Structure 1
Amino acid sequence: MRRGLVYVGALWSHGHFTVNGTLLEAWASHQSFRPKDDPSPPASDGDPKNPTADFRSEKRSNTTHDSVTDPGARLARKSHGTASIVGHLGSVLMDNRHGLIVATDVRAPGFDAERDAALEMLTRLDPRTRRRTLGADQGYDTAALVEGARACGVTPHVARNIHVNKSTSAMDGRTTRHAGYEISQRKRKLVEEGFGWGTTIDGLRKLQHRGREKVAWIFSFVNAAYNLVRLRTLIRAGVCA
């Protein structure tokens, strides 16, 4: 787990936030993912300059293999049915008023990693007597996240994960019936703009740094740069001076 906090001063709403995570492709190839008990290079085609190793028939997992290029990276998929990549998980906490990133987190991808990162970032916010809200997509709709957010004095506004003929949502009508819940669901889409900017403009499509400490630093730096771009837009629109 690596921490990051981006300072945006009085422009925070301090009351309404969104959390989301994205996979960051590491500066490491699949060929660098080798067994922990035998990290020696696999058999290759003999090319001394750029050897090609056949690893496709080998069963690999994060419990048995590590990347020798970036040991902090893990195998992960962006969605079901897609190819796995060697990467890190980057998460952000966004202010809903102006779409500014107020906290970042980089850690190894895992089943509960995004939700754990969300709760960790909530604990970094300054104490507040009034309750906050936290918008998120269906991936955060678990009892542990909902209960953890409430323990931090935050009302979770998480999209309900309801499948056909089966309800698995930890959210109920006591929260979803309020107008603020719908506002949070609309506002949370702003977080994708920051991810898109970092991917297309500022080099997050493929990391060029190795090690979680450096990745966490560059991820915070990119989001701080995005805040400056966002502030320029807000100033031109007369939203803030």
Structure 2
Amino acid sequence: MRGSDERTGSLFSYVNLDARVRRDHPLRPIQEIANAALGDLSADFSALYPPRLGRPSIPPERLLRAMLLQAFYGIRSERQLMERMEFDLLFRWFVGLGVDDAAWDHSSFTKNRDRLLAGEIAGKFLRAILAQPRVKRLMSSDHFSVDGTLIEAWASTKSFRRVDGDDNDPEGPGRNAERGFHKEKRSNQTHQSTTDPQARLYKKGDGQPAQLCYMGHALMENRHGLAVDGGVTQATGTAEREATLAMLDRRPGRRRITLGADKAYDVRAFIGQLRARRVTPHIAVDGHLSKLGKPRSTAIDGRTRRHPGYAISQRCRKRIEEVFGWIKGAAGLAKVKVRGRAKVDAVFTLALAAYNLIRLPKLLAAPA
């Protein structure tokens, strides 16, 4: 017998969200790991939200889960995320909203998100995930890799104007008028973006266009390729090495480790600073030719290059590109949607935590 297509609204609804999500859904183990990490951050949340002061805010745990969904599914904006939250039962289940609970207004979500990220919660959340005993046993404590990548700022090149206001602009209507860059020498010393003053005009290699950007950094353990630390700095020629030393100084313990990296880190002063920190530099040799045709003198000695572990580190270090590839492609951070180094740093660090979360279920399910 054919079923009826008649549409009638029911007076009461008894929908069990947990029953609507299949038992083997990949978000189930991810939610379990994330909830354990959020439980460890309860004291930090309490410090950000003083008791008996103002109206109740969006629960920070639900806020962070919603931000994780935004990274998992590559949702472009908070407005689109809230629209998806309105009708998607899977999203409601993961975040913790009931069927009859109203989704938040996108502007309220953004204000609460900025307040949460200002408290360095993203970095603490990443560390809380890695500190769980079953996750900690997956990671190497001796072998690491490091690299940096450019993240395009949420600012147009037209906003890069002279600090003294003496721009060579043709007459034109509208706020998006043409900019006169002809015969104009632009640099970060004389120019600044009016949209995002902390962004810097930079290019990472010859033949590439210069763009307003930040530089993201990640420290990865070599056993399973999990990101253990990261952050964002302004884009400069020395930012990668400076950020690496800062991340090494934050690591617990001072046991000897190895560090793989590409040839941009083959700098004698940097290698000396690594050895002072009991870090063996498994760094690719920068052997490019000078203008006179002579190969550049490398800072990596022959004893290090002859060791079998050096070749292994050179193979493993390339896996860090998978981290950057997922963050820029799936999570949508090829061009960041926030302004200011602090906010970009928090969003980037949360994306590192999201990358770890999508990989952990399979790693934890694999036989020991």
TM more than 0.5: yes
**Which amino acid in structure 2 is aligned with residue 235 of structure 1?**
L
Of Structure 1 and Structure 2, which has the larger fraction of its residues in strand?
Answer: 1
The CA RMSD measured in Å over matched residues stands at 2.0
Aligned twin of 2:284? 159
Q: In 2 relative to 1, CA 147–25 (structure 1 residues): closer, same or farther, beyond 3 Å?
A: same
Residue 51 (structure 1) shift: 1.8
Q: In 2 relative to 1, CA 124–182 (structure 1 residues): closer, same or farther, beyond 3 Å?
A: same
Find the residue that maps to 2:314 and give its secondary structure. Answer: helix
In 1, are the aligned partners of 2:254 and 2:277 still within 8 Å (CA)? no
Find the residue that maps to 2:272 and give its secondary structure. Answer: helix
Q: In 2 relative to 1, CA 49–161 (structure 1 residues): closer, same or farther, beyond 3 Å?
A: closer
> How many angstroms apart in 2 are the aligned matches of 1:101 and 1:161?
25
Task: Say how many residue pairs are matched.
Answer: 236
> How many angstroms apart in 2 are the aligned matches of 1:150 and 1:4?
27
In 1, are the aligned partners of 2:232 and 2:344 still within 8 Å (CA)? yes
Residue 239 (structure 1) shift: 5.6
Q: Which runs of 5 or more residues in structure 1 are unaligned?
A: none
Sequence identity, in percent?
47
Aligned twin of 1:106? 232
Find the residue that maps to 1:162 and give its secondary structure. Answer: coil
Find the residue that maps to 1:51 and give its secondary structure. Answer: coil
**Which amino acid in structure 2 is aligned with residue 193 of structure 1?**
E
> How many angstroms apart in 1 are the aligned matches of 2:367 and 2:123?
26
Pick from 277, 287, 302 the counterpart of residue 173 of structure 1: 302
Pick from 189, 206, 219 the counterpart of residue 93 of structure 1: 219
In 1, are the aligned partners of 2:282 and 2:304 still within 8 Å (CA)? yes
Q: What does the per-residue CA deviation read over 1:150-192, in whole Å, with 9 as the maximum and x for residues that have no partner?
A: 1111111000111354132100111111111111101001100
Of Structure 1 and Structure 2, which has the larger fraction of its residues in helix?
Answer: 2
When Rg is computed on C-alpha atoms for both structures, the one with the higher figure is: 2
TM-score, normalised to structure 1's length? 0.91
> How many angstroms apart in 2 are the aligned matches of 1:87 and 1:141?
24
> How many angstroms apart in 2 are the aligned matches of 1:194 and 1:224?
10
In 1, are the aligned partners of 2:123 and 2:350 still within 8 Å (CA)? no
**Which amino acid in structure 2 is aligned with residue 35 of structure 1?**
R
Moved more, 225-234 or 2-11: 2-11
Find the residue that maps to 1:13 and give its secondary structure. Answer: coil
Find the residue that maps to 1:57 and give its secondary structure. Answer: coil
Q: In 2 relative to 1, CA 96–125 (structure 1 residues): closer, same or farther, beyond 3 Å?
A: same
Q: Does 1:233 align with 2:358?
A: no
Aligned twin of 1:13? 140
Q: Which has the higher contact order (CA 8 A, sep 6+)?
A: 1
Moved more, 8-17 or 208-217: 8-17
In 1, are the aligned partners of 2:267 and 2:299 still within 8 Å (CA)? yes
Residue 44 (structure 1) shift: 4.3
Aligned twin of 1:25? 152
Residue 45 (structure 1) shift: 4.8
TM-score, normalised to structure 2's length? 0.61
In 2, are the aligned partners of 1:4 and 1:216 still within 8 Å (CA)? no
Find the residue that maps to 2:327 and give its secondary structure. Answer: helix
Aligned twin of 2:203? 77
> How many angstroms apart in 2 are the aligned matches of 1:124 and 1:44?
50
